[in-house]
Structure 1
Amino acid sequence: MIKYDAAIGPFAHNANSSTRIMYTVILTLLPACIFGFFQFGLNSVVLMLATCLAAVVAEWLCLMAMKKNPIACMDGSALLTGILLTMSLPPTFPVMLGVFGAVFAIALGKHIYGGLGQNLFNPAMLARVMLLVCFPVEMTLWADPTPIDLSHNLVSVPDAWFHFDGVTSATALSTERTEPIVFIDLLLGKQSGSFGETNALFILLGGLYLLYRRIIHWAIPTSFMLGLGAPALVAHFISPESYLPFWVQWTSGGAMLGAFYIATDLVTSPTSVRGQMLYGLGCGFLVWLIRTFGSYPEGVAFAVLMMNAASPLIDYYMRPNVFGRHPAVEKSS
């Protein structure tokens, strides 16, 4: 009797393509983006449009320089990079610096390695780290949300909504914060922070939809949250006055965005489930270490880039068995 266990290999294909995947991910990010526009005003809209346009134009120029089909700039990958980069920036970030970051992400974070599918690091996070190192003041100015008032059957747009600056304040992760932290405020985005990181609920719902569509695998988001939440839970239990609780770590900063949209990048993450579990645990634990003991209040970008570098090594030691490695014919007793 011949027994085949065809668990590995591209034996069947669905209708997904890289372009369809990219635009599906973009659509799931739209609620968080629209909420960010509503919260932070005109500059966030201009910043998003300029950064995304710069990313697509840089993609087109790189494809032309590499003598590839320039129409590939519309495959959604550059647009997604621009969106993720903008979502990781403060809402009052200078527009020209956002454009510079987008060009850096596409040219030096993606095409220097050969283009789509060959980059070692997540381009958006590579650009974010570059901007943080080069422009630390602009990258750490968090504006207070100034949403449109829809109460009492009136639409009241605050003056700050039209300004390109804002009133800065400490984030939930900042050691300078004095106000009490309320879970529902973090979940619904009533906090200072980066443009797209403030509404954890919308990002979580988008991530769950990607899991439902099987565009991402459960292993990385689950292990990411475990790697971030477990040490936070233990540390807070030992010294609650010194360490933030796990629910603050999960719902503040870029944790949700990192777990569902950045760490799950199909190109820069491991391929096996075991490898993805180790990769996600490493990302989450490094985020907690950087937030707790590092100089920066947010560590998602640094953690993801470090684990991106380790991803080929994880794949090497945790690659799945090749079909045919074990005897296919059962020996009769």
Structure 2
Amino acid sequence: MSAGPTITSSPHGARNNRVDWIMLQVCLALVPGTAALVWFFGWGVLINMALAVVFAVLAEATVMKLRGRPALPAIRDYSAVVTALLFALTVPPTLPWWLTLLGILFAIVIVKQLYGGMGYNPFNPAMAGYVFLLISYPVATTSWLPPDVPALLEARGVVGLSFMESARLIFTGALPAGLDWDAISTATPLDEMRTLLDQGSTIDVIRQSPLWGDFGGRGWEWVGNWFLLGGLYLLWRRVITWHIPAAFLAGLLVMAGLFWLLDPQTHPSPAFHLFSGAAIFGAFFIATDPVSACTTRRGQLIYGAAIGALVFIIRTWGGYPDAVAFAVLLLNIAAPTIDHYTQPRVFGHKLGQKRT
């Protein structure tokens, strides 16, 4: 007699929801965008990432020990590693090591562990750490290297930093011989656009600078494209759903498109907003944080669209050109309320019927 089919009990879903698996998928998805950042902005990106990971793991372990809990399970879920990587990818590649330490301590100790640890933090820890540094040390956190594009470097008369020069700058603050900060640092495309528009220049004139590419800043365009590839990987692996990224980008593009159509000489095109800052990175890797974002499907659409609209508003009229971190943190505050009013109808209840 042949054996019958094997019958297993529920649950029958094949989706892997373990925290460590999800975090490892996020790490893999960050690889293309990280490689592009290193290619265009130098070895400091990797040095910052390594420092941030070490500081985050040590901070997580120390707090768990102080709370009388085992440290190893908290470290093995890789949530601290992901927080560190996201933080490191948002700061300049020449950020002094002690500022990386301060930002990570604020993210892990204050924003994450003070509220109870993994799953309890109301704010995105990486963005909270970044905003803490941005407000406290605005010069250091906005001084980026020019992208390693020959035409741009030749126009500025500088060359890219080597690994040792980057490490020396991060750990000691020593600049390469014969160079000063004005020679090795530059404004980001968003900073440049905002400053020159405030001075009365038109976009046609602004875009004549070698800083600009086809849509946004040279180098930044490709960084955005490679983070997009990583975001699509997360969708394919079902780590995230399409609702927040699509709504985020739609909210940003619709707002930018409306004002661009009204006056294309004082408002950059939607493509500029998409490829010149952290919009794509924020849409797929930051706004989709499962702890601090909305959880209902309708709520995620509202949440994402509101972040996109806020990014445009703050970039255009606010004090910080790249507003992704601020927009995400503001909507983190609103996420519980949005979820409350967008709960799906319970099976068996009529629309509008009160639940008892």
Query: Would the TM-score normalized by the shorter structure come out above 0.5?
Result: yes
Pairing 1:227–2:251 present: yes
Corresponding residue for 2:51? Answer: 50
Q: How does 1:280-299 map to 2 (within 5 A)?
A: 280-299=304-323
Pairing 1:274–2:275 present: no
Q: What is the alpha-carbon distance in structure 2 between the residues aligned to residue 280 and residue 96 of structure 1?
A: 33
Moved more, 62-71 or 12-21: 12-21
Q: What is the alpha-carbon distance in structure 1 between the residues aligned to residue 114 and residue 207 of structure 2?
A: 45
Q: What is the alpha-carbon distance in structure 1 between the residues aligned to residue 306 and residue 113 of structure 2?
A: 27
Q: What is the alpha-carbon distance in structure 2 between the residues aligned to residue 70 and residue 117 of structure 1?
A: 16
Is contact 1:146-1:160 (8 Å) kept? no
Is contact 1:172-1:248 (8 Å) kept? no
Q: How does 1:1-333 map to 2 (within 5 A)?
A: 12=13, 14-71=15-72, 72-146=74-148, 160-162=161-163, 163=165, 164=169, 167-174=184-191, 175-176=194-195, 178-180=206-208, 181-183=212-214, 186=217, 190-191=219-220, 199-325=223-349
Moved more, 83-92 or 27-36: 27-36
- How far is 1:147 from its partner? 6.7
Q: What is the alpha-carbon distance in structure 2 between the residues aligned to residue 131 and residue 280 of structure 1?
A: 25
TM-score, reference length from structure 1: 0.85
- How far is 1:36 from its partner? 2.1
Moved more, 40-49 or 244-253: 40-49
Is contact 1:40-1:161 (8 Å) kept? no
Q: What is the alpha-carbon distance in structure 2 between the residues aligned to residue 238 and residue 179 of structure 1?
A: 19
Q: What is the alpha-carbon distance in structure 2 between the residues aligned to residue 11 and residue 131 of structure 1?
A: 46
Corresponding residue for 1:6? Answer: none
- How far is 1:290 from its partner? 0.3
Over residues 114-147 of structure 1, what are the superposed CA-to-partner deviations in whole Å (9 max), with x where a residue is unaligned? 0101100000000111001100110111211237
Q: What is the alpha-carbon distance in structure 1 between the residues aligned to residue 278 and residue 16 of structure 2?
A: 31
Aligned-residue identity in percent? 38
Moved more, 59-68 or 304-313: 59-68
Name the SS of the counterpart of 1:216 in structure 2.
coil
- How far is 1:242 from its partner? 0.8
Measured at CA, do residues 43 and 12 of structure 1 come closer, stay the same or move farther in structure 2, by a change above 3 Å?
closer
Name the SS of the counterpart of 2:339 in structure 1.
helix
Is contact 1:269-1:276 (8 Å) kept? yes
Is contact 1:146-1:161 (8 Å) kept? no
Q: What is the alpha-carbon distance in structure 1 between the residues aligned to residue 242 and residue 339 of structure 2?
A: 18
Q: What is the alpha-carbon distance in structure 2 between the residues aligned to residue 41 and residue 200 of structure 1?
A: 16
Q: What is the alpha-carbon distance in structure 1 between the residues aligned to residue 92 and residue 344 of structure 2?
A: 41
Over residues 104-123 of structure 1, what are the superposed CA-to-partner deviations in whole Å (9 max), with x where a residue is unaligned? 10001101110101100000
Over residues 197-243 of structure 1, what are the superposed CA-to-partner deviations in whole Å (9 max), with x where a residue is unaligned? 96011100010111111111111001000110101001011011111
Over residues 57-90 of structure 1, what are the superposed CA-to-partner deviations in whole Å (9 max), with x where a residue is unaligned? 1111111122222112121100000000011101
**Which ranges of structure 1 fall in alignment gaps of 5 or more residues?**
1-9, 149-157, 192-196, 328-333
- How far is 1:35 from its partner? 2.5
Corresponding residue for 2:3? Answer: none
Q: What is the alpha-carbon distance in structure 2 between the residues aligned to residue 81 and residue 51 of structure 1?
A: 9
- The alignment of Structure 1 onto Structure 2 pairs a total of residues equal to 304
Q: What is the alpha-carbon distance in structure 1 between the residues aligned to residue 105 and residue 42 of structure 2?
A: 24
One-letter amino acid matched to 1:81: T
Over residues 29-51 of structure 1, what are the superposed CA-to-partner deviations in whole Å (9 max), with x where a residue is unaligned? 01222232233233322211111
Q: What is the alpha-carbon distance in structure 2 between the residues aligned to residue 14 and residue 45 of structure 1?
A: 32
Q: What is the alpha-carbon distance in structure 2 between the residues aligned to residue 133 and residue 243 of structure 1?
A: 26
